[in-house]
Amino acid sequence: MTVHILVRSSGKRGWMLRCDLCEHRFDAAVAGRREAVAFARTNGWIVGEATWCPMCAATHTIRRTA
């Protein structure tokens, strides 16, 4: 199982993910870490060894293919 260091509990409000590159945040009002990661991925986030917001992920993909 991959450890998501930047997926943190935000108390009663749910979970927060933070982009490794730009510090953009994603707040998910769900019960568990697994649900927060799934919800973020549904919204375009890349979560794994690195956590990237959709814009940083798109920029990285463009740079690799250019």
Assess contact for 57 and 31: CB atoms under 8 A: no
Overall pTM surpassing 0.85 (yes/no): no
Determine the length of the chain: 66
- For the chain, percent helix, then strand, then coil, each to nearest 5? 40, 25, 40
H or E element that contains 64: helix 54-65
For residue 55, is pLDDT > 90? yes
pLDDT per position as a tens digit, 5-51? 556 566 667 889 999 999 899 998 888 889 999 999 999 999 888 89
Q: What is the mean pLDDT of residues 55-60?
A: 87
